[in-house]
């Protein structure tokens, strides 16, 4: 039996657990390795300028003789940290607004309008504006990404909360005099926790991609930061000279990381769906 037959024979639960395991392992590996890589290690070596991939430098070296493998790991670590905190913050905003909409019809109308307002503005443009207004840097990019990725999760949670509010047990609690806050905390929140977790996981790869896009365009992070977007931006000018490895390996590393988490999130979403949980 080939490896493709083995993968094809796996059920959805097994594939999901495999994707989660690989994603968690890669995430921990990237963060830990990047944390222990000191910037002083990625030194300039004029004798090793623009060297193609080799056993000594598996990703090659750049125009300053710096090891591209170490720079890529450091850049991925920074992108993962920004994406992680941005997805958490974005989910908190989504949950807060979704529950706010459940208190009365006026707040519900305001939240619906607020969601549509944010959806009408391109994410990338809004991230750039927020980042610039906060003075740039990692904090500006983090806040910019966080406050532009909450809309889809907020919309899903708002619809789910409205459905739960029509349930008989919620109606009984209201007749017993339970407060809206008590109902939201004790009865609604436990039922939407799954959607919150899945939504946060799905936000994470998008947050990483938008962080890389913003830094690629030259906004937010300092050019001296070893961010993936900055590495890719700097590498573009050297493609014409045949130094293909400068952009290929960092780009592939970013793509693999994003796709792995996106697949994990989608599989978790399917696994928790009653119609496909037994596949």
DSSP for 127-181, written as a single string: HHHHHHHTTSHHHHHHHHHHTTS-HHHHHHHHHHHHHHHTSHHHHHHHHTT--HH
Cα 262 → chain centroid? 9
- Does this model's pTM top 0.85? no
**Blockwise average pLDDT, block size 10, the chain, 279 residues:** 50 70 76 70 74 85 84 86 92 93 88 91 88 85 91 92 88 86 87 89 89 85 79 84 86 87 77 56
Q: What are the structural domain ranges in the chain? A: 11-36+66-271
Spatial contact of 105 and 162, defined as CB atoms under 8 Å apart: no
Spatial contact of 155 and 115, defined as CB atoms under 8 Å apart: yes
User: What CATH architecture is 11-36+66-271?
Assistant: Orthogonal Bundle (1.10)
pLDDT at position 111, please? 92
pLDDT at position 275, please? 52
What phi and psi values does residue 67 have, to the nearest 5 degrees?
Answer: -70, 120
pLDDT at position 274, please? 53
Residue in this structure with the two tokens 């125009």, named with its chain if needed? 63
**270: helix, strand or coil:** helix
pLDDT at position 10, please? 62
DSSP line for 10-79: S-HHHHHHHHHHHHHHHHHHHHHHHHH--TTTS---GGGTTPPP-SSSTT-B-TT--BHHHHHHHHHHHH
């Amino acid at each position: 039996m080939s490896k493709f037959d083995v993968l094809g024979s796996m059920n959805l639960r097994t594939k999901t657990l495999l994707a989660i395991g690989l994603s968690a392992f890669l995430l921990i590996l990237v963060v830990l390795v990047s944390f222990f890589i000191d910037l002083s290690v990625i030194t300039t070596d004029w004798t090793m300028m623009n060297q193609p991939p080799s056993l000594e430098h598996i990703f090659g070296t750049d125009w300053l003789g710096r090891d591209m493998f170490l720079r890529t790991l450091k850049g991925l670590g920074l992108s993962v940290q920004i994406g992680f905190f941005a997805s958490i913050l974005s989910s908190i905003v989504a949950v807060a607004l979704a529950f706010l909409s459940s208190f009365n019809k006026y707040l519900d109308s305001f939240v619906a309008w607020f969601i549509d307002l944010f959806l009408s503005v391109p994410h990338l443009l809004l991230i750039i504006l927020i980042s610039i207004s906060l003075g740039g840097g990692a904090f500006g990019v983090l806040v910019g990404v966080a406050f532009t990725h909450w809309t889809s999760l907020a919309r899903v949670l708002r619809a789910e909360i409205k459905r739960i509010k029509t349930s008989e047990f919620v109606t009984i609690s209201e007749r017993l005099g339970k407060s809206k806050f008590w109902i939201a905390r004790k009865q609604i929140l436990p039922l939407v926790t799954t959607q919150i977790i899945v939504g946060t996981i799905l936000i994470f790869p998008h947050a990483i991609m938008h962080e890389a896009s913003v830094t690629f365009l030259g906004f937010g992070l300092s050019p001296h930061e070893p961010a993936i977007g900055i590495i890719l931006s700097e590498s573009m000018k050297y493609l014409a000279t045949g130094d293909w490895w400068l952009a290929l390996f960092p780009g592939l590393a970013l793509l693999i990381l994003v796709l792995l988490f996106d697949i994990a999130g989608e599989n978790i979403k399917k696994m928790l769906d009653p119609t496909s949980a037994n596949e």
